[in-house]
Structure 1
Amino acid sequence: MADTIKHQGIVKNIIGTRIFVNIIQTTACAACSAKGYCSSSESKEKTIEITVPLSTDFHIGDQVDVIGETSMGMMAVLWAFIVPFFVLIISLFIIMSVTDGNELLSASVSLGLLIPYYLILWINKERMKKNFSFTIKPIK
């Protein structure tokens, strides 16, 4: 159970075998009893798309548990933050050595390289959806 992330949510929409579930994502502070006195508490409503083989088991308004693996979260952090960080740093040093230390040009080109990186991620979003899939269970 320690290798899973579980959120409670409500089924908002069903289209074929795709179920859209709204979950409330909260920080640890948002669940604190002193959150009214603190400005750092935060919560957001997010919609998660889950593909199931048979959507007739679920109805709009049902309360469900959305379950994902911890490794999915780590992989998402890798693709969204760690790889682009290394692209940025490595390209910055390479371009600085090629341009004899032109910092403005090096920084601009390094930041510009993130555009095709995120564009490639966006183009491959359907392929990545297969790796980042959630399961759903009804709450009884």
Structure 2
Amino acid sequence: MAELIEHSGVVERTEGDTVYVRITSRSACGSCKARQACGLAEAQDKIVTVATPGAAEYAAGDAVTVGVRRSAGMRAVVLAYVGALAVLMAVLVAAIAGMGWSEGAGALAAIAGVGVYYFVLWLFRTKIEHTIQFTITKI
């Protein structure tokens, strides 16, 4: 397995020590020859912010490759999805089995718990940003 997860993109702009790169992500059917006829193919542009001391070397329109360590990608998946699922299930089980709430009340409490989880992640976003470092290279 590769150590880096890489995507090609185009530099949108640079500001100080930061490069903003536009990456077009495509769904799994993006390479299908029938995608134009079915209309289900999804392409979405994302702007990735890359902090680098060499930002002055990049200009708008440059073709680049943006990479992130696979372990950082896995950490992001765990924080975004696995953590939320764990909170959802824990609150749901605690509300229904532990406190004897109805299923509807337990479901609402579980959804509220996930909302609180994402709010806490948002509060700690600057600490999380420092653990996920992007690299950038010209193509």
TM-score computed with the length of structure 2 as normaliser:
0.90
> Aligned to 2:95, what secondary structure does the other structure show?
helix
Percent identity among equivalent residues?
29
Q: Deviations over 1:52-104 (max 9, x none)?
A: 01212111111111111222222211111111111111111111123324212
Alignment of 1:107-118 (within 5 A): 107-118=107-118
Residue segments in structure 1 that go unaligned for 5+ positions in a row: none
Once the two structures are overlaid, the 10-residue window that deviates more, 120-129 or 1-10, is 1-10
In structure 2, the gaps of 5 or more residues are none
Aligned residue pairs total 139
Contact residue 99 and residue 106 of structure 1 kept, 8 A: no
Q: How far did 1:51 drift? A: 0.2
2:19 partner SS: strand
- Counterparts of 1:1-140 in structure 2, within 5 Å, are 2-139=2-139
Decide which moves more: 70-79 or 35-44.
35-44
- RMSD (Å) for aligned C-alpha atoms: 1.6
Q: CA deviation at 1:37?
A: 3.2
Length-normalised TM-score, structure 1: 0.90
Which stretch has the larger CA shift, 32-41 or 56-65? 32-41
Find the aligned partners of 1:125 and 1:138 in 2 and give their Cα distance: 28
Q: Write the distance in 2 (CA, Å) between the matches of 1:115 and 1:12.
A: 33
